[in-house]
Structure 1
């Protein structure tokens, strides 16, 4: 287990979670909201192997992907990621399967990821990038982080907004 929140558990996924993992990377309603193109089977497999092969050290890996589960359940309902952005700063990411949208899970997990980043990972700064048209995620991130720039994301062919939070500003 990596950490828990009020209703959720974040932990390493296993081979048993492959179907839901693939759904989280390919479901039209999820990737359209990011927006991303559907990843190749090879890209999905690389990310899945990285996720199940977590070596225990988030701080040294530029991409860490973990599963999100409801307390006491083994069904993979979402993913969280600790990434490194193009400026070399640590970045938070999350996504949930559609049946779990609108339950406050994104807000709950974002708050806990911030706490974890500052208390356990000893980071001084965290960021999160989101497509400017993703109203729900912009609403969640603006509760905790400050928008610091907008930029054209060539990879996803969209305009993203970067949110930033310094440890000294987190209470």
Structure 2
């Protein structure tokens, strides 16, 4: 297991082929996927050739609970919670923050904890100049995480999507944080 980052309650490590069952379960939870594909089910093969393949690339990490309490909902420490990303968008130092956690991990601060750690690592060690994140306008939970991490609303935009998702008529939002803003907020 190649560990990328540890926080007080999380281990972010390289995604492996062994994570397939966990990613299949995550991508087939209708509430987890509500703002991504409207909650429609996806086949194991779609996950293997799509989601898992992308997650095994640079900038993506599996998230496991590392604290003595173990993962939410029971189980032993080290339980799989989901994934995080800090995906390079351009050669100028812009990275996109992302996360997808199982429902039992929601509301426990894991998304904020993992995101703050990645933002910090991105600015301190990885040469990031700007961190962005996007979600549907109606995804209040994800927007709260972005705001808790210091990202600010930059714009609301509308894109054409192949499938209409409830709330998509309100568009998507982009949040961002520059290295300078991050440094100013640390003082």
Matched with 1:61 is none
User: How far did residue 117 of structure 1 move?
Assistant: 1.1
For residues 89-140 of structure 1, what are the alpha-carbon distances to aligned partners after superposition, in whole Å with 9 as ceiling and x for unaligned? 4210001101111111111111111101111211111100011111111111
- Name the structure with the higher strand share: 1
| RCO higher in structure (CA 8 A, sep ≥6) | 1
Matched with 2:63 is 68
User: How far did residue 10 of structure 1 move?
Assistant: 0.4
Alpha carbons 1:21, 1:76 under 8 Å: kept: no
For residues 46-72 of structure 1, what are the alpha-carbon distances to aligned partners after superposition, in whole Å with 9 as ceiling and x for unaligned? 3313434x4xxx4xxxxx321000116
Alpha carbons 1:151, 1:160 under 8 Å: kept: yes
Pair 1:65–1:75, CA change in 2 (3 A): same
TM-score (normalizing by structure 2): 0.76
Corresponding residue SS for 1:77: strand
**1:136 paired to 2:136:** no
In the alignment, structure 2 segments of 5+ residues that lack a partner are 68-76
2:52 alignment partner, one of 48, 55, 68: 48
TM-score (normalizing by structure 1): 0.82
Alpha carbons 2:20, 2:48 under 8 Å: kept: no
Matched with 2:82 is 78
How many residues are matched? 160
For residues 17-72 of structure 1, what are the alpha-carbon distances to aligned partners after superposition, in whole Å with 9 as ceiling and x for unaligned? 2111112222101010x2325456554223313434x4xxx4xxxxx321000116
In the alignment, structure 1 segments of 5+ residues that lack a partner are 59-63
